[in-house]
Amino acid sequence: MKTIQLPAAKALPMTLDEALTKRRTNRDCTAEALCDCELAALLKACAGITSEDGRRTTPSTLDLRAVSPYVLRADGAWRWNAVTNMLEQTAEADVRKVSTAYQFEYVDKAPVTIVFVADQERAKNARPTGVYVDAGTMGQSCYLAATSMGLAGCVRASFDHEELRKAMGLAEHLEPIVLFTCGRPA
Ligand SMILES: Cc1cc2nc3c(=O)[nH]c(=O)nc-3n(C[C@H](O)[C@H](O)[C@H](O)COP(=O)(O)O)c2cc1C
């Protein structure tokens, strides 16, 4: 399996109050790659481990931590290992365009889409809405981190879950449920 060691997350300079006030959806971004420290900051914001018992920056239904971020870039699909801060490749192909039902030009241009993937086997005793709430909090954390770093971002939910699962090389119990697309503002 191909892996990439990410550097430490870029520090987020804004106050929480400023990031909350400035947060907006922005789909107008360039194709320029994000640096890996910016990607690491987005991933830390949505699922970084912040205590020895494994709890994270975001809450999770029944403390199951059943939703995890994956990354789509031109160089493939990747699972983020929060313990090692490594990307672990799940597919070699660029599958960004499979992550939308209609916004093909935008998602193909934006350098990074983070996919919030629910482990439905792990979440089987939770309410069906639980993983969506988990992913929603993760999306907001990504928005705040992106805002703080001056990046343009958008939460997205219009895509075919099954088609994307297959394209990302994921097992059947792993369901992509929500996305966060990010790039540098145009
Ligand atoms: C659950 C959810 C799904 C969304 N899906 C999409 C989407 O598929 N494509 C898109 O461009 N924006 C999507 N959005 C972004 C909304 O259009 C955006 O949040 C809304 O227009 C309000 O703008 P704001 O985020 O700047 O406040 C989604 C937002 C949420 C919360």
How much is the pLDDT for 24?
98
Distance CA 59, CA 86 (A): 22
| Residues 150, 78: Cα–Cα separation, whole Å | 24
**For position 100, what pLDDT does the model report?**
98
d(CA 152, CA 78): 21
* Ligand 1 atom with the shortest distance to the CA of 106: 11
Q: Ligand 1 atom closest to Cα of 27?
A: 11
Cα distance between residue 95 and residue 98, in whole Å = 5
Does pTM top 0.95 for this prediction? Answer: yes
Q: What is the pLDDT of residue 1?
A: 87
Q: Give the single-character DSSP code of 102.
A: S
User: Which residue's alpha carbon is at the smallest distance from atom 1 of ligand 1?
Assistant: 157
* Ligand 1 centre distance from Cα of residue 27 (Å): 10
Q: Return the residue whose CA atom lies nearest to atom 29 of ligand 1.
A: 155
- State the Cα–Cα distance between residues 101 and 124, nearest whole angstrom: 27
State if residue 27 touches ligand 1 by the CB under 6 angstroms criterion. yes
The rounded Å distance from CA 34 to ligand 1 centre is 22
How many domains are there within the chain? 1
Q: 155 in ligand 1 pocket by Cβ < 6 Å?
A: yes
Whether residue 64 contacts residue 126, with contact meaning beta carbons closer than 8 Å, is answered with yes
Q: Is 184 in the pocket of ligand 1 (CB under 6 A)?
A: no
Asked if 89 and 99 count as a contact pair (C-beta separation under 8 A), the reply is no
Binding site membership of 25 for ligand 1 (Cβ less than 6 Å): yes
Q: Extract the tokens encoding 169.
A: 């090389």
- CA dist., res. 112 & res. 71, Å (int): 7
* Tokens standing for residue 174: 């792993």
Residue whose CB lies within 8 A of the most ligand 1 atoms, among 129, 155, 158, for a mutation test: 155
| pLDDT tens digits for range 107-160 | 999 999 999 999 999 999 999 999 999 999 999 999 999 999 999 999 999 999
Task: Flag residues of the chain having pLDDT under 50.
Answer: none
CA-CA-CA-CA torsion for 76, 82, 85, 87, nearest 10 degrees?
Answer: -10
CATH number at residue 13: 3.40.109.10
CA of 1 to the centre of ligand 1 (A): 34
Domain with 59 in it: 3-183
The residue whose CA is least distant from atom 6 of ligand 1 is 156
